[in-house]
Amino acid sequence: MTDRAFMKSFGGLILALVALTVILFIIAQIVGGKESKSVEATADAKTIAERIKPVGEVTVATAASGSPVMAAIIPSANAAGGGDKGKKIYDTTCVVCHGAGVADAPKLGDKAAWAPRLKAGMDAVYANAIKGKGAMPPKGTYQGPDADVKAAVDYMVSGVK
């Protein structure tokens, strides 16, 4: 083998090895690089999601799904929805006497005042509210159906039953 021929084949071998190295490097980049990149990407997405969670999700999503705060608000909202009419009538008509206990009117939330009356049964209490009793005027002067007065009674006694 001449020097020239040696150099030619040796150079070719070097070139082949360089090419192989480059190819392996590229493959390594594609296989390994891609993987580490995607792991990084998910980690980033997770981190970002966690970081924006208190801002974006906690306030909005938990409000919808029932946080303690909403749990505290919703039942009272529901209760107000159910007894809304009774409360309205109480607040506009009955409170005049039953708020402060005028002429010994049993006060809202006064268990001791309501207990003996409730003992007679709700029918009797409704009847007294509708027909009047002593200083309690019929329907408490409310101008509307008996059912509304009953709703107001229900609202008044709901806290003392």
130 part of the interface to ligand HEC, by CB under 6 A: no
**Cross-strand bridge partners of residue 136:** 133
| Contact window for ligand HEC (CB under 6 A) among 48-56, 63-71, 75-83, 136-144 | 136-144
In three-state secondary structure terms, 111 is helix
The angle that helices 122-131 and 146-157 make with each other, rounded to 10 degrees, is 120
Among 72, 74, 77, 96, the residue binding ligand HEC under the rule CB under 6 A is 96
134 part of the interface to ligand HEC, by CB under 6 A: yes
Q: What is the CA radius of gyration of the chain?
A: 41
Are 137 and 144 in contact, with CB atoms under 8 Å apart? no
Instruction: Please report, as residue ranges, which positions from 3 to 62 form the binding site for ligand HEC (by CB under 6 A).
Output: none
Binding site for ligand HEC (CB under 6 A): 89, 93-94, 96-98, 102-106, 117, 124-125, 128-129, 133-137, 139-142, 149, 152-153, 156
